Structure 1
Amino acid sequence: MPRFAANLTMLFTEVPSLHRPELAAQAGFDGAEILFPYDHPEAEWEKALSGLPLALINTPPGNWSAGDRGFAAVPGEEERFRTGFLRAASLATRLGAERLHVMAGVARGPQAEQVYRENLTWAVQQAPDLQLTVEPINPDDMPGYFLNDFDQAARILEDLNAPQIGLQFDLWHAARIHGNASAVWAAHRHRVSHVQIAGFPSRNEPGGGGFDLPALCGELDATGGTIWVSGEYRPARATVHGLMWLQALKSRNRPIGD
């Protein structure tokens, strides 16, 4: 059965970040995800979440303004990746985050893939009780990002054969990379452990774009397990005025509009 999370990095930006969990809970979200919860002390996030489940955080990206996007696949940055991963794993454990997304970084080529594999294997050994994810990201939004194809991600995960690492299915990135997010979902859903949704092609409120969100939720219902479906999008107006999609997916008794 899916649970619905608000991406607090992109939603409820009308208020400071530490006030967003309260708004998400009031709006009917079951939990939250926070991409980079590193600008505030752990205790402040614990107080702000106040029992609201945390679905996912990312490993530290480095200097974002300078072009850093993580380091897991970046040759020569192994120590920087590992230091950041241990920091992220500690924070995820303290905040109760159910998934930790390992950011690959800007890199390319066989050496980058070898470094990526080695770092993922190391990460699994260092945090055996933590569920990890990898996410293909489209090259328009993140030029040069190493993991930029769902088939590439599936091949690496199959080779690693580490049940602790799941695939993060972001509908927006799947559509941008492959053109048909439904086909990507059908091919790789058995590896998916975390879902992020947005409208396509606008990346505003979820819905439209030829992807059947109620059907996706129905499939997740049928699995018998629990998985997070996170709204990771850019609200077209104030977040609270565009949440019809959330209630529609929770009830699944009416269509999601464009």
Structure 2
Amino acid sequence: MTRTMIARATPKVGESERLAALVETLAQQVRREAGNIRFEAFSESGGVVVMLEEYRDDAAFEAHLAQPHTKEFNAALAEVATGGASSVTDLVNFAGVKVSAPQIRAVDHAGLTVPDIEAATRFLSDAFGAVTLYDVLPEDGPDMEGEGPQEELGLSPDTRITHMRLVRIGNGPCLELFRMEGGAQSDPARLQDLGLSHLGLYVDDIDAACVAFTAAGGTLLKGPHPLANNEDNDGNAGIYGRAPWGTLFELLTYPGGIDLPTASPAPRWTPHP
């Protein structure tokens, strides 16, 4: 069971900026902890900082408390925070929606095979602001090939994986990029083809997103166009386009909201701003 809490720190007079800087640094460090699920920080009036934290379990939270960066942060609070510390309130989820089997959390990532990971990374960064997290398989490392990968990953004979990279775009699942050599490859999927056909990205300004997509080397189809049926409200729109290597992306926005059917078991997931 995950451990979720809210920590609130009130700055002493003149210490608002320093407190905010300390929390920004802490956030980067905590998010690298193996047991951390999320760490988000918000500000209230008067410079009060509210931290929403979630850890894999109690053991992960205890490991967090033992980290040098956590101890350094708590020591600094003695100087900058009213009362010398933050107040912590544990949270218990009692009205969560059930939209998966008990053992399933959510989509973690999507896989995307590209002809050149460096070029694909540049496109994703220029078009969407994607950031590289790490290389799962460095380009200069040994290739993944042979019977093991063929049987484990369903690769055709003689196919080898030469490069793998994990990137992230905003608040959503990661993209795992693959570069393959040796085996036969199909053309990128169209919307009418079976299987995963496209990646949809929520955007706040669809016109600006279209400009960035094109400037990065993508090719837009006709649009932007209204969304359909339950999604067709004022300001809602979408447009499809292809990346330079052919993968289909959709840019969509729905500030007018979605008309959710009464029988729907949960609201539609939407990335937060």
Q: Does TM, scored on the shorter chain, surpass 0.5? A: no
Of the two structures, which has the highest relative contact order with CA contacts closer than 8 Å and spacing of 6 or more?
1
TM-score between the two structures when normalised by the length of structure 1: 0.28
Greater Rg over alpha carbons, structure: 2
TM-score between the two structures when normalised by the length of structure 2: 0.27
